[in-house]
Amino acid sequence: MELKELGKTGVMIPEIGLGTWRYRGGVEPLQKGIELGATLIDTAEGYYTEDVVGEAIKGVREKIFIATKVSGRHLGHDEVLRSCEQSLYELGTDYIDLYQVHWPNPSYPIKGTMDAMGKLADRGFIRFIGVSNFEIEETEEAQACLNNHKIVANQVRYNLNDRTIERDLLPYCEERGITVLAYTPLDDGNLTTMPRVMGKGKMSVLKEIAEETNKTMGQVALNWCNSRSNVVVIPKSNSITRTIENCGASGWRLTDEQVARLDEAF
């Protein structure tokens, strides 16, 4: 498994992690992913999967990088502290590696939210602070409220079919040393199989490159995301077989020419 630096922290994380949004696979797929080097597991209080993540990492906590999130409905100062305490309990751990604000909510003053995040970091309950679904202006506002800590990650949607963040957010994060955690990197499975009617469109290019590399379409799609220097993907899979496939998207690289063909096609 290839590693990338988290922000500018000096901490290395796997370029393919394990997502748990709408996850129903139990502990086995997560444990298989860990075995294959996907030791970054992303969850959230709003996913209701922190407990299964906690079960999956028993006995190997020191090898795992846990990322979880405080709900956008719980962004008051004291609510953030309580949510973190509950997440620690559900995960069965005494610290969280990356604690993220799940989405911005203008109903809560961002200063109170980030003050609480800073306190959690100062007290050792969390190691790093991140955000999710934040635009540039929201990220800058949140960072301005942190005196002693940096926002090291922004978790956003990114895949071949949805490249919206390339306009401004992706280069902004790259310039400032913020890791992009790409959720839904396979576009809910739409990038893993060829449509019944195959023309000369974008999916045929993906299939051609899969054949050239002797990889699956899904592996090519994940590898394309990771061709961006500051992007780490967190696909979700409920099966051991697909988890193995997803992890196989690391350890090799598309050529510049193949990346360019996919960029043009999609």
Strand partners, 128: 98
Predicted pLDDT at 193: 84
DSSP state of 150: -
d(C-alpha 185, C-alpha 235), whole Å? 6
Kindly report, residue by residue over 113-169, the tens digit of the pLDDT.
Answer: 999 999 999 999 999 999 999 999 999 999 999 999 999 999 999 999 999 999 999
Q: Are 142 and 151 in contact (CB under 8 A)?
A: yes
Burial of 86 (0-12, 13-18, 19+ CB in 10 A): middle
Is a pLDDT exceeding 90 seen at residue 74?
yes
What average pLDDT is seen over the chain? 96
d(C-alpha 235, C-alpha 214), whole Å? 20
Is a pLDDT exceeding 80 seen at residue 194?
no
Give the domains, in start order, of the chain with CATH numbers: 3-189+228-252 (3.20.20.100)
The one catalytic residue among 23, 47, 99, 183: 47
Residue 48 annotated among the catalytic residues of the structure: no
- Hey, what are 212's tokens? 């050239």
User: Whole-prediction pTM value?
Assistant: 0.96
Is a pLDDT exceeding 60 seen at residue 199?
no
Strand partners, 210: none
